[in-house]
Structures are given as C-alpha cells and as structure tokens.
Amino acid sequence: MVRAVDGVDLRIDRGETVGVVGESGCGKTVTARSVLKLIDMPPGRFEAGQILWRGRDLIPLEQDEMNQIRAREIAIIFQEPMTSLNPVYTVGDQIAEVIALHQKLSPKQAMAGAAEMLRLVNIPNPTKRVRDYPHQFSGGMRQRVMIAMALSCQPKLLIADEPTTALDVTIQAQILELMQEMKEKFGMAIMLITHAMGVVAETCQRVTVMYAGKVVEEAPVKELFGNPRHPYTQGLIRSIPRIDRAVSRQARLESIQGTVPSLLNPPAGCRFAARCKYAMDICTQGIPPLKEVAPGHRVACVL
C-alpha cells in the first residue's frame, strides 16, 4: 500500500492563488486529482480526512453529486495538452458539452458559448476554429482550449496541474498571463501545481511545499522566498539558476543530494532526513509536526 498523500492540510481562500510545489512523485498530482475524486477508486481510496468545499465534505458524496461540483464549481486542467482532448470530437463540441451539461441551453446556444470561450482565451478566428479538431491546434493552443473548457461554467476554483510544464517557455508565459487574466475576470481561486519556483514567485499569494507525500512548509509567497525555514525549501530556492550573480562566484548549480524515498516503504521519522544536511538523531525518530513560526508561516522541522 502506498500512501501517496499522507496527512496533507491544504487551504485555499476565495480568490487567492495558492502554489503547491515539490518534486515529481511528491504527491501533488494525487492531491489535485483527489479533490475532484478523479483517482481510480478501486486501487485508490480515502483512508482518513476531509475535503471541505464551502463547508461541505466531498468525500462521502456519490458520483452524481460529485458531477454537480465538477466543472461547475471546481474545474481542473492537466499537464499534457496533447492528449487531454478527445481526438474525434471538435473542440467546439467538447466545450459545448460542458456548457450544455451545467446550463440548460440548446445545442446552438452551447456552441455559441463555446465560440465565445475561445475568443476569451485569445484564440484567433474563434467562430471558425470552433469546428476544428484538436489535432489541428498546437500544444499551446490546446492548453488554451483546455482553459476555455474548464472556465466555461465559471467555477470558483481552478486546479491547474502543471499546466505549462509540457510547453515551450514563451508559451508558458502566455498561458500564465491568460490564467491571471481569467482569474481577475471571474474572481476565481487557483490551486497552481508546479515544480518551477519561478512561476510560483510570479503568480501565487501563498505557497505550500510538499515532500514525499507530506507538507513540509507553507507560507505567504514573500515570506517563503525571503525566509525559507525548511531545509528542503531552502534547497529548492537555492537550486534556481540565477543569472544575476557573478559567474566566478556561482561556479556550480546547487542541487539537493539524494533521491526521493520510496513511498512503498517510507522511512520512519522525517522523510527528508536522509538528504538533509542538518539532520540529527531526533529527525529519524518521529515525524515533526507543522508548527507556526511566523504569522501564516508553518514548518514541519525541528529547527
């Protein structure tokens, strides 16, 4: 049994962008998908805890109740735009599908709504493009289509699971800008999952750092970058390549030694202990709980 997510406490307030950072395999995607219960539920299951959405726990909800929440209140976009769209239906059909499902509109009206959404995400010539198939769009455009689809029912929360990882850097910037625009327009909250600290610094209000299935630090963004307390966070920030420092001083890129532990067999005690340069005996004896070290800033470390 793998505890992909072990005791994660996450909180997103109305209209704020929260970044969830961590290496591959730390449980970010599982966390994201489990909010909407999109994990395969034979093998996977919820052992304990709650998912509170506007005061209502989502875990005991049945499928059709979940379906009322999906897209209408919480929407999600995925990492791989190339494979996230159904190749046999036009993009208009796929967007209209969501619109027609949650707002009782005629097919024609839904299509018009779809074209409008395409226009909103800055796809040129939307009324014509609405009849095109996914393979006729580039990667960046497909991600825009995904965003259009996700936002078509004006959800209150958008979960973005590494939305720009698979795209070129220039397109990345465009997509992030688009998301910011949409957020302001619709007053949405965003849960932005990424492993790029630079993106987090630019777009988020608060940040949660995850490691090996657990939260190790969370703080408002300026506080996190200005005063990182957990050794892992410090390592992450230090490993961002900087071009503003003199070359002779920074001859090597900083990295964190070691690899992520296997979740099949998690180590007892702090999971970062094996790679931590400050590790002490006490670190392997028990998992340190999250404690508040400054207003809004919690760290799970004995330091």
Partner 1 sequence: MNRQYIIRRLLIAIPSLLGISVILFGILAMAPGDPFEELATNPAIPPEVRMALRAKFGLDDPVWQRYLHWLAAMMQGDWGFSFQSRMDVDRLILQRLPVTLIVIGASQILAISVAIPVGVLAAIKPYSIFDQIASTFAMIGFSLPTFFTGLVLILVFSIQLDWLPFVYRADINATGWAFYWEHIKQSIMPVVVLGLAQAGTLVRFMRSSVLDVIRLDYVTTARSKGIGERKVIVRHVVRNALIPVVTLIALQLPAVFGGAIVTEQIFRVPGIGSLLIAAIQANDTPVVMGVTFIISCLVVLFNLIADILYGWLDPRISFR
Partner 2 sequence: MAGSTPASLSADAPATPQVVVRPRKARSISPARETWRRFRRHTLAVTGAIVLLILVSGVLLGPYVWPVAINDIDFTAKLQGPSLAHPLGTDDLGQDLLARMMYGGKISLAVGFAAMLVALTVGVLVGSIAGMASGWVDAALMWLTDLFLALPTLPLLLLVMYLFRDSVKKVLGVEGGAFVLIVVVIGGLRWMPVARLVRAQFLSLREKEFVEAARALGASKVRQVVQHILPNALGPVIVVGTIDVAAAIIFESTLSFLGLGFPSDVPTWGSMLRDAKDYLDIAAHWALFPGGAIFLTVLAINFVGDGLRDAFDPRRVL
Binding site for partner 1 (CB under 8 A): 33, 36, 38, 63-64, 66-72, 75-76, 78, 80, 83-88, 97-98, 101-102, 133, 135-136, 146, 149
- Residue bearing tokens 């990667």: 139
Q: Are 252 and 212 in contact (CB under 8 A)?
A: no
> Could you tell which of partner 2, partner 1, none binds residue 274, using a CB distance below 5 to 8 A set by kind?
partner 2
From residue 8, alpha-carbon distances to 134, 148, 159 in Å are 36, 30, 16
**Crossing angle of the two packed helices 107-120 and 139-151, in degrees rounded to 10:** 120
What's the CA dihedral at 236, 242, 248, 253 to 10 degrees? Answer: 30
Instruction: Indicate which of partner 2, partner 1, none lies near residue 125 (CB less than 5 to 8 Å, by partner kind).
Output: none
Q: What residue type is 140 in one-letter code?
A: G
Helix, coil or strand: residue 16: coil
Q: Which residue lies nearer to partner 1 by CB, 38 or 196?
A: 38
Nearer to partner 2, 139 or 266 (CB): 266
Question: How do the residues of the chain divide into helix, strand and coil, expressed in percent and rounded to 5?
Answer: 35, 15, 50
CB of 261 to partner 2, least distance (A): 7
218-257 mask for partner 2 (x: CB under 8 A)? ----------------------------------------
Select 24 or 136, whichever has its Cβ closest to partner 1. Answer: 136
CB 161, min distance to partner 1, A? 10
Q: Which residues ranging from 273 to 302 are in contact with partner 2 (CB under 8 A)?
A: 274, 285-286
How are beta strands 52-53 and 297-299 bridged, if at all?
A: unpaired
Q: Does 1 bind partner 2 (CB under 8 A)?
A: yes
Q: What's the CA gap between 114 and 120, in Å, rounded? A: 10
48 to 1, 10, 27, 183, 258: CA distances (angstroms): 15, 14, 16, 32, 31
Q: Which of 190, 73, 79 is nearest to 142 (CA)?
A: 79
Q: Does 39 bind partner 2 (CB under 8 A)?
A: no
| Residue (41 or 294) nearer to partner 1, CB | 41
Hunting for tokens 């940040």 — which residue is that?
207
List 52, 242, 259, 294, residue binding partner 2 (CB under 8 A): 259
Nearer to partner 1, 67 or 127 (CB): 67
Residue 136 interface partner, choices partner 2, partner 1, none, CB cut-off 5-8 Å depending on type = partner 1
Q: Backbone phi, then psi, for 278, in 5-degree steps?
A: -100, 10
> Of these partners, partner 1, partner 2, none, which one is at the site of residue 267 (CB under 5 to 8 Å by kind)?
partner 2
Shorter beta-carbon distance to partner 1: residue 80 or 254: 80
Per DSSP, the chain holds a count of helices (H) and strands (E) of 10, 10
Give the binding range for partner 2 (CB under 8 A) out of 32-40, 182-190, 233-241, 262-270.
262-270
- Does the protein bind partner 2 through residue 264 (CB under 8 A)? yes
Q: According to CB under 8 A, which one of 107, 226, 258, 296 is a site residue for partner 2?
A: 258
Give me the residues that bind partner 2 (CB under 8 A), please: 1, 258-259, 261-262, 264-265, 267-269, 274, 285-286
